[in-house]
């Protein structure tokens, strides 16, 4: 199958797709429990955590909701620099929280000084930050942002959405002091959509004990009770967990460092090519995504025509997101995409530009 340079759902390896065809098991069985335990042990390596990684039958947005419902009784500060950060803010408002925004224009990033300033003005129970803003291709400096939260407001929990980076970019949950780190299956993890994962440390779970109205489906304390028995409170998405078990073996056998280096190299190659073609990435240098290069369409390409041209040759890229449609275009290089695929795409794009 030809590679899709879109930021999810991404291509899934044939053997991972095939793993879903395994015969179902009762989820209250030793066989399922052994698989569930195995997947969690492997997930902990990808999350760089000694704590726990919850698995939910939902896409990543469900885990955004879990973070809000479990860790904030009232106050939330949402760092907003794009569509998915804005969504997390809306999730907070929709759940009745007093949410404030720390906002910069799309394409820009939140800098540690800005966050320090907001935290000095008011106490917030949680801060929400999107690591890799898929709508703009900007990568927030999560390590430094988490450090500033711990320094200025040590009781504030750090909630991070790494939906379009985790598994392709190193995010060291424990070392950087991230309390809750969520991702979806269908991006750098290169699985079909439908499940999501959230690393959660002890301090965050302790806080959840004091939060009322956590709901039921996303109550992390209930999930924890079952996780300790290697299971889930409700019927899990069994076929996807078979796929997860298989894909985590593939990820770990590639080697995490090799995987991160592959994503970085594909980003460098794509962004250098764009600049050579006279088109700058949207995000400032030093803060450009390693998984979804978002390029300003300064040569005025017809993006729909470009995609038609690419589709005839078995590939596709993504248009800009929302208001950035046609003003930018996005080349996602995540999951199973290889440098040789990127090379082929860029040759075709040059052919299109020359027309
Ligand atoms: C950064 C980011 N956060 C959250 C989401 C929402 O994830 P999902 O579609 O898995 O609910 C997306 C989806 O593209 C995303 O890119």
What integer pLDDT is reported at residue 1 of this predicted model?
56
Answer yes or no: is the C-beta of 167 below 6 A from any ligand 1 atom: no
Residue-level pLDDT at 189: 98
CA distance 258 to 226: 34
CA 260 / ligand 1 centre spacing (Å): 20
Residue 139, classed as helix, strand or coil, is strand
Closest ligand 1 atom to 186 CA: 10
- Is 107 near ligand 1, meaning CB less than 6 Å away? no
3-state DSSP assignment of residue 200: strand
Q: What is the pLDDT of residue 3?
A: 74
CA 197-203-205 angle, to 5 degrees, is: 55
- Cβ density class 85-119: b for 16+ within 10 Å, e for less: bbbbbebbeeeebebbbbbbebbbbbbbebbeebb
- For the whole model, what pTM was predicted? 0.98
Q: What is the pLDDT of residue 269?
A: 98
Gap from CA of 84 to ligand 1 centroid (Å): 6
Inter-CA distances, 300 with 24, 280, 325, 350, Å:
51, 13, 12, 14
Nearest of 92, 62, 96 to residue 77 by alpha carbon: 92
The conformation of residue 279, written as its DSSP 8-state character, comes to -
CA of 270 to the centre of ligand 1 (A): 22
Q: What is the mean pLDDT of each run of 10 residues along the chain (355 residues)?
A: 86 97 95 97 98 98 98 98 98 98 98 98 98 98 98 98 98 98 98 98 98 98 97 97 98 98 98 98 98 98 97 95 97 97 97 95
How far does residue 353's CA lie from ligand 1's centre (Å)?
A: 31
Distance 41 CA to ligand 1 centre (A): 24
| Ligand 1 within 6 A of CB of 61 | yes
* Pocket of ligand 1 contains residue 184 by CB under 6 Å: yes
- Ligand 1 near 163 CB (within 6 A): yes
């Amino acid at each position: 199958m030809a590679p899709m340079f879109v930021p999810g759902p991404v291509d899934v390896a044939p053997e991972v797709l095939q793993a879903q065809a395994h015969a179902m098991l009762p989820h209250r069985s030793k066989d399922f429990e052994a698989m569930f335990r195995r997947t969690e042990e492997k997930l902990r390596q990808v999350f760089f955590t000694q704590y726990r990684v919850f698995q939910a039958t939902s896409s990543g947005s469900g885990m955004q909701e879990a973070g809000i419902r479990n860790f904030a009784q009232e106050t939330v500060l949402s760092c907003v620099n794009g569509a998915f950060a804005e969504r997390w803010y809306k999730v907070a408002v929709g759940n009745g929280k007093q949410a404030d925004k720390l906002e910069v224009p799309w394409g820009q990033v939140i800098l540690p000084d800005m966050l320090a300033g907001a935290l000095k003005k008011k106490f917030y129970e949680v801060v929400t930050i999107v690591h890799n803003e898929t709508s703009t291709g900007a990568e927030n400096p999560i390590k430094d942002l988490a450090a500033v939260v711990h320094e200025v407001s040590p009781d504030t929990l750090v909630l991070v959405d790494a939906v379009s980076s985790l598994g392709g970019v190193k995010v060291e949950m424990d070392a950087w002091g991230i309390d809750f780190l969520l991702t979806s299956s269908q991006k750098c993890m290169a699985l079909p959509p439908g499940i999501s994962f959230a690393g959660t440390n002890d301090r965050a779970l302790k806080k959840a004990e004091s939060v009322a109205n956590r709901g039921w489906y996303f109550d992390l304390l209930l999930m924890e009770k079952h996780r300790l028995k290697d299971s889930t409170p409700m019927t899990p998405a069994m076929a996807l967990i078979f796929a997860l078990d298989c894909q985590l073996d593939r990820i770990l056998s590639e080697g995490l460092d090799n995987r991160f280096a592959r994503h970085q190299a594909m980003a460098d190659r794509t962004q250098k090519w764009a600049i050579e073609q006279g088109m700058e990435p949207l995000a400032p240098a030093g803060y450009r995504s390693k998984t979804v290069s978002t390029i300003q369409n300064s040569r005025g390409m017809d993006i729909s025509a470009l995609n038609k041209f690419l589709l005839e040759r078995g590939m596709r890229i993504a248009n800009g997101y929302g208001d950035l449609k046609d003003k930018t275009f996005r080349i996602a290089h995540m999951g199973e995409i290889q440098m040789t695929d990127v090379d082929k795409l860029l040759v075709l794009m040059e052919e299109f530009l020359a027309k």
